Chain A
């Protein structure tokens, strides 16, 4: 019992620290890549290639004064960023970054919590994240913040549905709610050569899920809750210093988590095609799996960033139109088609 607890704590620390580090690196990458896309140089002053820029940013945020507006609801104003960041971090708990690893004669699964309803947990936690944003918008007592918060909640409701329906397609194929089993199910081969990743089995579901994930993480083209030109920053207008930093961090942590979930559900998780035939030792296989997983997540993250600098923001009515009139029917149709195909295959 003691060992299990110790291992869990160690895994937890490693996961949380690496997510936070990744989030900070992402801020740098985002600024640098956006600069390159716009034919600029981007941050290149602090340290070699500006690599220490995120450190400078964090120090700056830490040293800033914490301002709470006079008419704000202080308790909730303080609570909102905490909700945001804790939800962003805890969603990662059920994502498997590898199969199992054997260290010092102790075998453990490469995920923090081996929950048997992993997907339900993810869906539940991501919808919790909206509380942070909505409460931040409401408690600031500022009309722009409130509008940001309201938009956020409306957006979450619209996109959660299609997200859930896209996930059900995956569940029907895998026949389980456990994320590690879903990944294992993707390690087989279709017709002997194509890896049975869900992106090939569920292309429509993949597109729906990715779009919904963009909306859930408030990334462009769906960043209406913070739309700078209209809402002067939206829900975090009235936040300064560390509390603003927490919102900022949770946005990027959410991105990391969303990429990890996309990788797990649709891109075969830690599965590296044809790696089984290399005949490596179990430990080397575990390391290879983790590296594969990280590489896939990195690719999805880069996709997130490049999309941000490619697409313009949707108008609010367009956002609702896409959510309810396109995504939802497509997701339902995809579900129906999956069901029919599965029935025909099984009979």
Chain B
């Protein structure tokens, strides 16, 4: 529709096009050719989607030399728009002096925005490529440190990506 309410066409249909038949044949050719193209969907449980490095899966804590990098500054918990992160700090003999005695992410609240990763000064919390999150209760959805800690080797791709694109 044009602004004056009249129907405007870039060009009028030719006689052949108005007869439908040739146009239907063209349409059939298109649909039939689509039938033999590769499929976009996966046979899910057998065939999995491998996310790219830019994918924001569930947030995890980076584990380096057996301990978390986190210094329990609490910035992630401050920035979290969904109030999903809870951090409790404590002191440690290590060089970093502080560590989280309790670090919990409520995965029911998490919206996978990635703000925690963005704000973290130590690159201690990053978004992994895990997307299969299933819980059977509210309590089960609260991930503590034991579930969040992930060895650094597994997260190398994501850390690399962050270094290049942040």
Q: Which residues of A contact B (CB under 8 A)?
A: 33, 36-41, 44, 207, 306-307, 309-311
Contacts and interface: CB of A to CB of B under 8 A. Distances in A.
Nearest to B28: A310
Interface residues of B, number: 16
Contacts of B41: 39-41
A311 B27 contact: yes
Q: Which label, helix, strand, loop or mixed, suits the secondary structure of the A interface?
A: loop
Contacts of A39: 34, 37-41
Nearest to B35: A36
A36 B37 CA distance: 8
Contacts, number: 37
A310 B30 CA distance: 8
B35 A33 contact: yes
A310 B35 CA distance: 12
Interface string B27-65: 110111011111111010000000000000000000000
B29 to A, nearest CB: 9
B143 to A, nearest CB: 32
A309 B32 CA distance: 10
Interface string B4-34: 0000000000000000010010011011101
Contacts of B36: 36
Contacts of A310: 24, 27-28, 30-31
Q: What 5 A-B pairs are tightest by C-beta distance, nearest first? A: A36-B35, A310-B27, A310-B31, A39-B40, A37-B31
Interface in B87-144: none
Contacts of A37: 31-32, 34-35
Contacts of B21: 207
Contacts of B38: 39
11 contacts: A36-B34, A37-B31, A40-B40, A207-B21, A306-B28, A307-B24, A307-B28, A309-B31, A310-B27, A310-B30, A310-B31
A311 B34 contact: no
Contact of A44 (B30, B31, B34, B43): B43
B39 A40 contact: yes
Contacts of A33: 35
A41 B21 CA distance: 30
A44 B41 CA distance: 12
Contacts of A36: 34-36, 39
